[in-house]
Structure 1
């Protein structure tokens, strides 16, 4: 199962963002920014006592407001509630219960999601003077905290992780390739899923997945077995949700984590958007094999240069995913959709490919002879040997004399040399640098 998702919800000015920042602290799982990777700032991946989870910060909910921005914030919060495994309902312990609090509580009860009722701004060791008033919401015993001062945050997190779902992930044989269809709303993900399944005609079953109602659909193609991972809401047509691109990223997170291969669907009429970059970034950082699928290609007016120009634009906008093959299709007409599973199989094999140490070091040795390692203040980078430490993604351990001398441009050069000789199409490549101790 993917990491649990926790949403912080409540009316404006109860301290949601302060709590969000306090929980994230310095425990954010992703600690480095790779060039070109854009992250969505309304959520973070963090952990508490070895429990990793995603935390969503929502805008303040004003249930009865008809103004555009509050109404949009309400819809965003509704989607976060639908997506979440656990909800932190944050209230102001100094101000007491309000009509808006009661409206939000009614919304949360209907969701049926595990929930913690949390009173914020209790900045001393005494209880809120309104403590017992909150029992009328029927949402259990309140947890009192101070986000600003960090009081009782540990107890809150202990109670939160106790509510995480205990559902075990559906087990599949190692030869089953798990494929996640990802992308922002209205790019044709559902049509593509139906086209893939409709052409193969061998749907084994539909298995209820995580508590977010993800659907795993096993199918076969020739002698090969696959599972399509369809995240919650991917087939839903409601404009209330599909118009909120900001949260479409959250829908992709769990699917990416569970997948072997990600199909990133991009609307040919729009080109690569900021949201596409964010979603592609998840696949890249998770080390998944990636295929970029340009859908609705039948709607584009073309000349002899159109496709090459589009490819150039995609490579420029998604420069960190330069290894991903690009397919131009129409899920509506079926144009080139027969190439998708064939490409999925190829990149899945590349992502799981393991090289022999001897052959790998021959290539590294040749690369060093062609382009000498960098030096700094008379000290030169020495590469002793290289071995493959893992697959999915292919990960190589490079034993060197000094990490400080290993400039990223030279590591990129070695990466490209490995690609030239072995391919790894569709797969990111990772290097782990280890200093060889003196005397080894």
Structure 2
């Protein structure tokens, strides 16, 4: 994605993958259906209305047909801020999907809010299926359906808890999806993390080109780790937006504890992490702790300075000042790649994608063993050898592991004598020689089994 690629081009490139949205009131079983079909537990299921606030998207393959299944926030007439945001978000989003599954509660019967939901689906002009959940007995099916016949649409009765009616739902979906022949290659899995209210969801929406994550001025809007596939030049990326990571002492509600766990799990599963900070403030001590957590999981990372349009207005020599703050705050990883963006204006999104491409290539870089060892033995002559007891540490050879980002094993006679400072010396030289600056590479030291080798 170059700077000139617009968000609608990204959205347009997704048209080859059918999108099926699940909508309905809170607590009717939308997330349960999503988890069953996707065979995941990515949507938080809890006996509490309004748990799902964001739009969660997961690729699915059923009976040879591929589609993206989408779980949405519960639509309600409640007057609180989040309810209004969800209502507006889902209504707008339905125009970008291909098919709709409207879930109703068979125990509650037809409610006024259900009429509004069906109205939303009809206004979107997309084929939709009406699913009446919580019909626990076959004898109750016709009674449950009778309230909804007036709408003249396809109806399926189901009990998600009993796994009944699922085959009818899947059959309806697969009949709607035509055969496809274009080839999509797999790209990186990108996870967005950061403190609350730094603009993570706004940045996600800017990248995806649609209002998929709730955006408000209230910290903690995102509860789930929201996974969304997007496609660029027939390459499929997965973008994961996470809940804001706060200090443990501030996580009081049980949902925030769930969110923090999901955020950490999302980091572990990422190929590349985008650490978003408020560009008007710069990286803080809390950002440093998040960065340390990323490095402990040995993930590639890009620092995204969001709201940079405001920072440039307020701070003289803004980028220079910001980079100096990065070097101080992330003194343990001061060469982290930095991209300046504005989710509000779209500025810097092309730079961000270019950086993702460059860092992604480095994450999988494999250095030929001969070149690696020729360089290694030149480097170890530049500095005095580490000392273990009364003996010098002798290195025999260096090999690269199959890990991402690149990691290396140095075999030596006394691996315990290789100090942290000497590892940093080796890492710095490897980064410079093989264009791995900005990549959190690691060096492990092991005792050579042969006890001899090239010196």
Task: Give yes or no for contact 1:361–1:386 (8 Å, CA) kept in 2.
Answer: no
Which secondary structure state, in structure 2, belongs to the residue aligned with residue 258 of structure 1?
A: strand
Q: TM-score, normalised by structure 1?
A: 0.52
Task: Give yes or no for contact 1:28–1:47 (8 Å, CA) kept in 2.
Answer: no
- Quote the offset at 1:108 in angstroms: 1.0
**RMSD of aligned alpha carbons:** 6.1
Quote the Cα distance in structure 1 between the aligned partners of 2:76 and 2:20.
20
- 1:59 — aligned with what? 73
- 1:102 — aligned with what? 115
Q: Please, which runs of 5 or more residues in structure 1 have no aligned partner? A: 30-39, 191-229, 373-382, 399-408, 431-440
1:116 aligns with 2:129: yes
Quote the Cα distance in structure 2 between the aligned partners of 1:330 and 1:62.
32
| Matching residue within 313, 316, 319 for 1:299 | 313
| Matching residue within 344, 353, 356 for 2:368 | 356
Task: Give yes or no for contact 1:62–1:100 (8 Å, CA) kept in 2.
Answer: yes
- Greater C-alpha Rg: 2
Quote the Cα distance in structure 2 between the aligned partners of 1:309 and 1:98.
58
- 1:81 — aligned with what? 94
- 2:29 — aligned with what? 15
Quote the Cα distance in structure 2 between the aligned partners of 1:10 and 1:334.
32
- 2:56 — aligned with what? 43
Matches within 5 A, 1:240-251: 243=216, 246=222
Task: Give yes or no for contact 2:202–2:344 (8 Å, CA) kept in 1.
Answer: no
Quote the Cα distance in structure 1 between the aligned partners of 2:39 and 2:184.
34
Instruction: Write the deviation string for residues 12-49 of structure 1: whole angstroms up to 9, x where unpaired.
Output: 342223333434545769xxxxxxxxxx9863646454
Matches within 5 A, 1:425-436: 425=437
- 1:268 — aligned with what? 279
Quote the Cα distance in structure 2 between the aligned partners of 1:71 and 1:106.
17
Quote the Cα distance in structure 1 between the aligned partners of 2:345 and 2:150.
56
| Matching residue within 152, 163, 167 for 2:165 | 152
Task: Give yes or no for contact 1:56–1:80 (8 Å, CA) kept in 2.
Answer: no
Quote the Cα distance in structure 2 between the aligned partners of 1:259 and 1:12.
30
Q: TM-score, normalised by structure 2?
A: 0.51
| Matching residue within 122, 129, 138 for 1:125 | 138
Task: Give yes or no for contact 2:279–2:305 (8 Å, CA) kept in 1.
Answer: no
Instruction: Write the deviation string for residues 189-246 of structure 1: whole angstroms up to 9, x where unpaired.
Output: 97xxxxxxxxxxxxxxxxxxxxxxxxxxxxxxxxxxxxxxx63337x9xxx9754874
- Quote the offset at 1:80 in angstroms: 4.7
Residue correspondences, number: 334
Task: Give yes or no for contact 1:28–1:46 (8 Å, CA) kept in 2.
Answer: no
1:311 aligns with 2:326: yes
Quote the Cα distance in structure 1 between the aligned partners of 2:343 and 2:367.
36
Classify 1:331/1:28 alpha carbon distance in 2 versus 1 (closer, same or farther; 3 Å): closer
Which secondary structure state, in structure 1, belongs to the residue aligned with residue 129 of structure 2?
A: strand
Moved more, 255-264 or 112-121: 255-264
| Matching residue within 314, 325, 329 for 2:337 | 325
Which secondary structure state, in structure 1, belongs to the residue aligned with residue 161 of structure 2?
A: coil
- 1:37 — aligned with what? none
| Matching residue within 258, 279, 282 for 2:236 | 258
Which secondary structure state, in structure 1, belongs to the residue aligned with residue 210 of structure 2?
A: coil
Which secondary structure state, in structure 2, belongs to the residue aligned with residue 148 of structure 1?
A: helix
